[in-house]
């Protein structure tokens, strides 16, 4: 009897294993040059449009903006004592303003997002003037709410909230302004991230009262309860991995974006590689090369673009890469502190000098417009780009990325790898780019004395000019060093750029 039971169990487990394997192999995908293997993906060639673009703007925006309480609200509003035994501030805010999450949950926040002042056409005109060469729309955040017209998931912005195809409208506006268009997906982490909705209060008069995530009729928003031990950033559940694949494939197939961003390392091994291969294959040009960019948060080894959140790489990267960051919190929050336009520009220059791009989130209100202080920051960036953009767009790294204290001294680490993105610079900090035989040297702060540059590689200087300034520069060269007389007049912005041309041999 026992032997028969064991045999039945073995057959059951074998069948289960075959089912699991079937869910995550032989996935439907566009056939072509790329297969879902690391070796095949290493055939990837980085599109010139991305290498030349350098600067993109991101709309990290959705229903989590509604409470005006910043990032991760949909998760944190369910944390009563689950972290350090104390209620989360978002939980307390939700309790005070909306009620207990057993009754008024995140599902009830979604209808409050109306986006009534959102004008994608006018915002895109602004972003183009500021200097963005590509624009990225959020597709879905960890809240599992889709901003596109999905046929696979009814929790989307066409059927709920603003009743608008947010991705589609952003894309139309971007194309009209000649910007490349991308989408970001944060769904891979949603399955474990949103498990807080299945909890209950641990303390207080409602201790043990289950949150609305436990209601079966809302499982398609909050997901089912995860298996024990499935609590990493990316789920181990093959069923959910396949669901991720089908839904992000729908996003790719419906909109054919130029860029796809995953808020994670490469998701789900073969599943993620299959999606990348599909994405590349459906974009091949006449020369058989992909015209699109996939970016995720791990070393690329030439397979795609490495993304560094809130940080920068330490030196010149062999492969193009990207920083993703925000001028403030990821979602709108009352009273938040924003970067200055000078900080954004300094960060951009540092990134470009290292063969990278900057993707910058511009924080929108729940209604969809921008606050006045955000507008002022954008105007500051636009002013700098107008004078200095030629030293950014279409450039490539010099033999070294920079000189000065920020290169020679200890550099502060970033939160998610690499170095900190926003840092303090000194007048002797210099960064370099090059284009068409010219060297561009950026002083990251106004120089307080004559500027000395050492990294000329034995080249003889023919001319020096300061971008955005018609005053003739005085300079001298002594061996390997170039000294530029301190400019008599300085612009209002911090970082200034010099174009250095060399004598032809």
Give residue-wise pLDDT tens across range 442-494. 999 999 999 999 999 889 999 999 999 998 999 999 988 999 999 999 999 99
- Terminal alpha carbon distance of the chain: 91
Question: What is the pLDDT, as a whole number, of residue 40?
Answer: 98
Question: What is the pLDDT, as a whole number, of residue 215?
Answer: 97
Tokens 């920083």 belong to: 323
CB atoms closer than 10 angstroms to residue 14 = 10
**Domain residue spans of the chain:** 19-309, 402-502
Asked if residue 291 lies in contact with residue 47, where contact means CB atoms within 8 angstroms, the answer is yes
Give the model confidence (pLDDT) of 6-45 as tens digits: 444 444 434 444 445 567 788 999 999 999 999 999 999 9
Give the model confidence (pLDDT) of 424-448 as tens digits: 999 999 999 999 999 999 999 999 9
On the question of pLDDT at 330 being above 70, the answer is yes
Closest by CA to 314, choosing from 415, 417, 393, 398, is 417
Strands 496-502 and 481-484 turn out to be unpaired
Asked if residue 351 lies in contact with residue 357, where contact means CB atoms within 8 angstroms, the answer is yes
Asked if residue 292 lies in contact with residue 34, where contact means CB atoms within 8 angstroms, the answer is no
Tokens 């890469």 belong to: 321
Asked if residue 331 lies in contact with residue 26, where contact means CB atoms within 8 angstroms, the answer is no
On the question of pLDDT at 86 being above 90, the answer is no
Output the CA angle 403-406-412, nearest 5 degrees.
150
Q: Which helix (H) or strand (E) is 276 found in, with range?
A: helix 270-281
Question: What is the pLDDT, as a whole number, of residue 410?
Answer: 83
Contacts of 142 (CB under 8 A, 6+ apart): 72, 74, 75, 186, 187, 189, 190, 193, 194, 263
CATH T-level fold of 402-502: Immunoglobulin-like (2.60.40)
Tokens 């690329």 belong to: 300
CA dihedral 378, 383, 387, 390 (to 10 degrees): 20
Give the model confidence (pLDDT) of 178-204 as tens digits: 999 999 999 999 999 999 999 999 988
Contacts of 435 (CB under 8 A, 6+ apart): 390, 391, 394, 395, 396
Sign of CA dihedral 128, 130, 133, 137: negative
Residue 320 to residues 50, 381, 432, Cα–Cα distance (Å): 9, 23, 16
Asked whether the whole model's pTM tops 0.85, one would answer yes
CA dihedral 288, 293, 298, 299 (to 10 degrees): 50
Provide the percentage of residues in the chain whose pLDDT is more than 70. 95
In this prediction, residue 115 has a pLDDT band, given cuts at 50, 70 and 90, of very high
Give all strands (DSSP E) within 281-412, no chain letters.
293-296, 305-309, 311-312, 321-326, 356-361, 402-403
Tokens 């297969």 belong to: 35
Span 364-387, average pLDDT:
98
Asked if residue 447 lies in contact with residue 497, where contact means CB atoms within 8 angstroms, the answer is no
CB atoms closer than 10 angstroms to residue 449 = 10
Q: What is the largest CA-CA distance in the chain?
A: 97
On the question of pLDDT at 4 being above 70, the answer is no
Taken as a whole, the chain contains a residue count of 505
Asked if residue 195 lies in contact with residue 235, where contact means CB atoms within 8 angstroms, the answer is no
Structure letter (DSSP) for residue 438: E
Class for the domain spanning 19-309: alpha beta
Give the model confidence (pLDDT) of 289-325 as tens digits: 999 999 999 999 999 999 999 999 999 999 999 999 9
Burial of 7 (0-12, 13-18, 19+ CB in 10 A): exposed
Closest by CA to 415, choosing from 312, 322, 345, is 312
Burial of 92 (0-12, 13-18, 19+ CB in 10 A): middle
- Spatial separation of the C-alpha atoms in residues 500 and 81, rounded to whole Å: 60
């Amino acid at each position: 009897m026992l032997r028969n039971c064991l045999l039945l169990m073995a057959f059951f487990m074998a069948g289960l294993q075959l089912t699991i394997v079937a869910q995550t192999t032989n996935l439907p995908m566009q056939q072509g040059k790329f297969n879902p293997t690391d070796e095949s993906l290493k055939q990837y060639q980085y599109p010139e449009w991305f290498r030349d673009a350098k600067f993109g703007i991101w709309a990290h925006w959705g229903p989590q903006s509604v409470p005006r309480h910043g990032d991760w609200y949909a998760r944190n509003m369910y944390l009563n004592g689950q972290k350090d035994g104390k209620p989360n501030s978002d939980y307390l805010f939700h309790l005070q303003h909306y009620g207990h999450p057993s009754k008024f949950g995140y599902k009830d926040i979604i209808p409050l997002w109306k986006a009534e002042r959102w004008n994608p056409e006018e915002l895109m005109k602004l972003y183009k003037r500021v200097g963005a060469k590509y624009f990225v729309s959020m597709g879905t955040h960890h809240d599992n709410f889709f901003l596109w017209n999905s046929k696979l998931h009814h929790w989307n912005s066409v059927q709920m909230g603003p009743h608008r195809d947010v991705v589609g409208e952003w894309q139309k506006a971007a194309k009209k302004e000649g910007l490349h268009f991308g989408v970001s997906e944060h769904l891979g982490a949603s399955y474990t991230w949103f498990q807080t909705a299945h909890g209950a209060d641990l303390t207080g008069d409602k201790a043990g009262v289950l949150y609305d995530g436990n209601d079966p009729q809302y499982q398609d928003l909050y997901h089912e309860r995860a298996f024990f031990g499935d609590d990493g950033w990316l789920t181990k559940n093959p069923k959910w991995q396949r669901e991720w694949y089908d839904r992000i494939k729908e996003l790719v197939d419906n909109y054919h974006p130029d860029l796809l961003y995953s808020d994670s390392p490469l998701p789900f091994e073969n599943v993620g590689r299959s999606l990348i291969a599909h994405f590349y294959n459906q974009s091949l040009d006449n020369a058989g090369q992909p015209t699109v960019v996939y970016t995720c948060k791990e070393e690329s080894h030439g397979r795609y673009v490495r993304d560094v959140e809130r940080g920068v790489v330490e030196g010149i990267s062999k492969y193009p890469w990207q920083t993703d960051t925000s001028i403030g919190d990821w979602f709108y929050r009352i009273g938040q502190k924003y970067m200055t336009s000078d900080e954004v520009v300094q960060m951009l220059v540092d990134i470009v000098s290292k063969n990278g791009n900057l993707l910058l989130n511009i924080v929108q209100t729940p209604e969809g417009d921008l606050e006045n202080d955000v507008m002022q920051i954008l105007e500051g960036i636009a002013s700098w780009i107008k004078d200095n953009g030629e030293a950014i767009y279409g450039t490539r790294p010099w033999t070294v990325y920079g000189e000065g204290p920020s290169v020679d001294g200890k550099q502060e680490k970033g939160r998610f790898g690499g170095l900190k993105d926003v840092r303090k610079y000194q007048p002797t900090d210099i960064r370099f780019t090059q284009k068409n035989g010219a060297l561009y040297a950026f002083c990251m702060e106004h120089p307080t004395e004559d500027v000395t540059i050492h990294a000329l590689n034995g080249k003889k200087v023919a001319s020096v000019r300061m971008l955005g300034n018609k005053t003739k520069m005085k300079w001298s060269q002594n061996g390997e060093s170039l000294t530029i007389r301190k400019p008599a007049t300085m612009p209002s912005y911090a970082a200034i750029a010099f174009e250095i041309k060399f004598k032809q041999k």
